[in-house]
Copies of this chain bind each other. A is one copy, B any other.
Amino acid sequence: MNNFEFYNPTRIIFGKDTQKQIGKYVKKYSSNILLHYGKDSIKKNGIYADVILSLKDAGIAYTELSGVQPNPRVSLVRQGIKICKDQKIDFILAVGGGSVIDSAKAIALGIKYNGDVWDLFTRKAASENSVPVGVILTIPAAGSESSPNSVITNEEESMKLAVSYPNLRPVFAILNPAFCFSLPKEQLGYGVCDMMAHIFERYFTQTQFTELTDKLCEGTLRTIINNSSIILKNFNDYNAWAEIMFAGNIAHNGLLGMGRKEDWASHGIEHALSAVYDIPHGAGLSIVFPAWMKYVYKENIPLFVKFALNVWNVNGNLKNSEEIALKGIEETEKFFKSLNLPIRLGELNIEENNIEIMAKKATVFGSLGSFKELNTEDVIAIYKLAL
C-alpha cells in the first residue's frame, strides 16, 4: 500500500424529499446565491418548485442562471462570474448532473480570481480560492458532487480542460434517488458506465497490498451491476436507484483510490474520442474500456483473474488464468450491451480514418496511464481493437 492522504468534507444528504431542506443547508453559507441549472427538466419534475419554496422560506435571495449544456461552456461560466461579481453573490447552488456542477465550480473559482477564469484551466495562472458550491444532484454518474474537479470546454478554442483544487469539493450535496425516475432511459447506461469506469481507473493498478480497497471496489461494482439490472426491469425502483446513486458517489469521492496508483488512461482515450465525435462520455467509455482491458491485461493477469472471479462470478474452473481473465472482459462487454451501451466504434458508425488524429490528441501531453504506460502507438492499437 502506498502512503496516502484522504480528505473529503462534502456533507452528503441522502434520501427522499431531502431537496425540501435546501434552504436550511444554504443558509449556513449565504443569503444571496446563484441558482445554476441546465434545462427546464427540473421544472417539469418538481425539483425547481421545491427548491424555490425552501429558499424563500429561508429568506435567501437567488439569481437564476440556466442553460448549462453537456460539456459545459466557458462562455456561460464567464456570464455567471459577471453576474456574481455584480450582485455580490458568494454561493453557487448547482441543481443538475456533472455538467451543471462543473460549471458551478468554475464560476465559484472565477469569482475569486481577478482575470479570465480560462487562465486557470490553461495553467497560465493558479488560484485556489473559490466561493462555496452546494449541489442538488439529479443524475448519478459523474461523481462531481463530492470531487475536487471541474472540466470545462472552451468552444472558441475547441479545448476541453480540467482543474482540480481541494476547495472545489462542494460543501454539501443533496442526493434524492427519486429524481432518477424522470431521467431519459438511456441515462441509466451512461451513468452506470461512468461510475464503473471511475472504479476501473482505480482498481486496475500495479500497486501491491491493496486488499481493503480492492474489496471495496469489488463490492461497489457488484452493487452497481445488480441494481442496474433491477432498474432495467423497473425504471421507478427507488431502492435500486438508491444503491446506484450512493455507489456513484463512493465511486468517485476518492476513497477507492487510496493507497494505490490510479490509471486514467481510458479516460484520456475517451476524451479524445468524444472530442472528435460528439458522443456521450458514458458511450465512449463502454467502447474504450473493453478495448483497453484486452490490450493491457497481460501486464497483471492475477488482478484480471480476481476481477473476473469477484466482480463477474466467472467460473474458476476454466482452463487457465488467461482464459478466466478474458472471460471477465467478455462479461464486462456483455453487461454493457445489456444496458444498451455500444461496445464497438462501428456501432456508432465510427471508422478507422480519424484514429491517428485521436491518438495524437490523447497523448499530446505525453504517455497515458500507469497500469501499462501507453504511447501514441499503443493508443492507436486500442482504438483499432475497438473498431
Contacts of A227 in B (CB 8 A): 211
Q: Tell me, rounded to whole Å, the shortest Cβ–Cβ distance linking A317 to chain B.
A: 17
- Tally A residues with Cβ within 8 Å of B: 38
A182 sits at the interface (CB 8 A): no
Q: What is the CA–CA distance of A239 and B239 in the complex, to the nearest angstrom?
A: 37
**Looking at the complex, which of A13-21, A62-70, A112-120, A292-300 is the stretch in contact with chain B?**
A13-21
CA distance A243 to B222 in the complex (A): 22
- A221 (CB) vs chain B CBs: closest residue: B215
Does A9 make an interface contact (CB < 8 A)?
Answer: yes
Once the chains are docked, how many angstroms separate the CA of A243 from the CA of B242?
Answer: 29
For residue A212, CB closer than 8 A to chain B, the reply is: yes
Name the distance in Å between A285's Cβ and chain B's nearest Cβ. 21
Q: Are A243 and B14 in contact (CB under 8 A)?
A: no
In the complex, the chain B residue whose C-beta lies closest to that of A18 is B3
**Pick the contact of A218 from B4, B6, B219, B243 — CB < 8 Å?**
B219
Among B1, B9, B10, point to the contact of A243 (Cβ < 8 A): B1
For A211, what are the chain B residues with a Cβ–Cβ distance below 8 Å? 223, 226-227, 243
A74 within 8 A of B: no
Given contacts A222-B215, A243-B211, A6 and B15 within 8 Å (CB-CB)? no
The complex places the Cα of A18 from the Cα of B243 at a distance, in Å, of 35
Residues of B within 8 A of A10 (CB): 7
Closest to A246 in B: B212
Please state if A209 and B7 are interface contacts (CB–CB under 8 Å).
Answer: no
What are the residues of chain B within 8 A of A215 when measuring CB–CB? 219-220, 222-223
Cβ–Cβ < 8 Å partners of A7 in chain B: 9-12
Interchain nearest-CB distance for A244 vs B (Å): 9
A188 within 8 A of B: no
| List of B residues within 8 angstroms of A18 by Cβ | 3
- Say yes or no: is A353 at the interface (Cβ < 8 Å to chain B): no
- Distance of A211 Cα from B18 Cα, bound (Å): 21
| A3-B18, A14-B4 given; A212·B9 CB < 8 A | no
A5 CB contact (under 8 Å) in B6, B13, B223, B250 = B13
Task: Give the docked Cα–Cα distance between A7 and B242 (Å).
Answer: 18
Q: A6-B11, A14-B258, A258-B14 are in contact. Are A1 and B212 (CB under 8 A)?
A: no
Chain B proximity of A116: nearest CB distance (Å) = 31
- Max count, chain B CB within 10 A of own CB: residue among A1, A4, A16, A243: A1
- How far is B242's CA from A3's CA once the two chains are assembled, in angstroms? 10
Nearest CB in chain B to that of A244: its residue: B212
In the bound complex, what is the Cα–Cα distance between A243 and B218 (angstroms)?
16
B12 engages A209 (CB within 8 Å): no
Whether A12 lies near B5 (C-beta < 8 A) is: yes
Instruction: Enumerate chain B residues within 8 angstroms of A218, measured Cβ to Cβ.
Output: 219
Cα A211 to Cα B224 in complex, Å, equals 10
Answer yes or no: A158 CB below 8 A from chain B CBs. no
What's the Cα separation between A212 and B16 when bound, in Å? 18
* Cβ of A2 under 8 Å from chain B: yes
A selection of 13 A-B contacts at a CB cut-off of 8 Å is A1-B246, A3-B14, A3-B18, A5-B11, A6-B14, A7-B10, A7-B11, A8-B8, A209-B243, A212-B223, A216-B216, A216-B220, A216-B250
